[in-house]
């Protein structure tokens, strides 16, 4: 349903949208009917064409209103005189139910490598990593910073 809603919001017909995305109309119809899910790279192309975020497409309530998790990398300015690295990245964790945020938490100072934190957050969202497993995943992904997570 979300794919159709976003396509219509963008003012595109199925035929035009499929052409721009580079997929068949039938494949787009499957996405819109919930019969198939696109690869993340395809969802990224769809979001760019529809003018929405990938999260708007893939972070929606599952059948039965099961909780979902959205992880986002956040760039943080380090305050203080003479900071060697004025920015660091953290992770914002949002728990969603029925498409609404029910809880938000934040882990600061994960890494100064913004691209690595972004990729990590995208992977956690895609895999729907439960927050209870996040500490273990962070320590594996960022071993140099593991002591700051405890």
Domains and CATH numbers, the chain: 2-58 (1.10.260.40), 63-149 (no CATH)
In angstroms, the CA 2 to CA 90 distance is 29
What pLDDT, in 10s, does the model give residues 1-60?
789 989 999 999 999 999 999 999 999 999 988 888 888 788 888 989 998 877 777 765
Q: Which residues, 6+ apart, have CB-to-CB distance to 72 below 8 Å?
A: 55, 91, 92, 94, 121, 125
Q: Which residues, 6+ apart, have CB-to-CB distance to 96 below 8 Å?
A: 59, 61, 67, 68, 69, 70, 102
DSSP conformational letter for 22: T
| The Cα angle at residue 127 between residues 121 and 130, in degrees rounded to 5 | 80
pTM for this one?
Answer: 0.53
């Amino acid at each position: 349903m979300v794919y159709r809603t976003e396509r219509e919001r963008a003012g595109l017909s199925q035929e035009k949208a499929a052409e721009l995305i580079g997929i068949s109309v039938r494949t787009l119809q499957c996405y819109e009917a919930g019969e198939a899910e696109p690869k993340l790279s395809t969802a990224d192309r769809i979001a760019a064409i529809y003018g929405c975020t990938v999260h708007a497409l893939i972070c929606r309530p599952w059948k039965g209103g099961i909780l979902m998790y959205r992880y986002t990398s956040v760039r943080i300015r380090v305050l203080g005189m003479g900071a060697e690295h004025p920015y660091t990245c953290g992770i914002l964790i949002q728990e969603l139910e029925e498409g609404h945020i029910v809880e938000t938490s934040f882990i600061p100072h994960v890494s100064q490598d913004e691209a690595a934190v972004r990729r990590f957050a995208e992977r956690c969202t895609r895999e729907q990593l439960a927050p209870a497993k996040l500490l273990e995943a962070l320590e594996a992904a960022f071993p140099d910073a593991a002591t700051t997570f405890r």
